[in-house]
Amino acid sequence: MIERRMIERRVDHLTRKRVAEMSPEEMRVALLVSERTGGPNRRAFDDGPSSPFIAMSDVDGLKALNDQYGYSAGDILIRRFAEVLTSVGLDAYHDKGDEFLCKGDSYQELNLKLTEAQQRLRREPFAVCGLDGRITTIEGADFCFGIGTNLEEAEVSLKHQKELQKVSK
């Protein structure tokens, strides 16, 4: 007979203790808020109410910004992007990396608000600290977005927009 031993899967006892002692509000924040942006995350998107239309957006040139100025500059841009999305009234959720998801009641609503967010992000400079320690002002940034009735359609639309952007450059 083969002896089966129980192996503790959760060996980080300090983290387990901290999580067990969290208040409901702390637990909500830990589960539903993006550490990077301070706004709602993908889990909040999935757990929240559904909507007739979904948009998926992706910051342009993040890798080049990270390569030139460091990851902290990319994090600043991602936070800035989150702020711009919410400032135009979008129900925006940080998915992963530089990708955000938005919910909306109509294609027109999402398209209008995302276009406004594009214009704001393009024209509003932001400061970053470069790898050399110098503060540099970035003159603005851009992003692509796609809209659909579900995530799959939004992703296909986003890929199409990125292809169109490549052709126009």
Identify the pLDDT of residue 10: 53
What's residue 16's pLDDT?
Answer: 65
For the entire predicted model, the pTM comes to 0.81
Place of tokens 């400061």: 127
- Euclidean distance between CA atoms 140 and 37, whole angstroms: 18
Question: pLDDT tens-digit profile of 98-150?
Answer: 999 999 999 999 999 999 999 999 999 999 988 888 999 999 999 999 999 99
Residue 150: helix, strand or coil by DSSP?
coil
Spell out the domains of the chain, with CATH numbers in brackets: 39-168 (3.30.70.270)
Name the β-bridge partners of 56: 101, 146
User: Which amino acid is it at 118?
Assistant: Q
**pLDDT above 90 as % of the chain:** 72
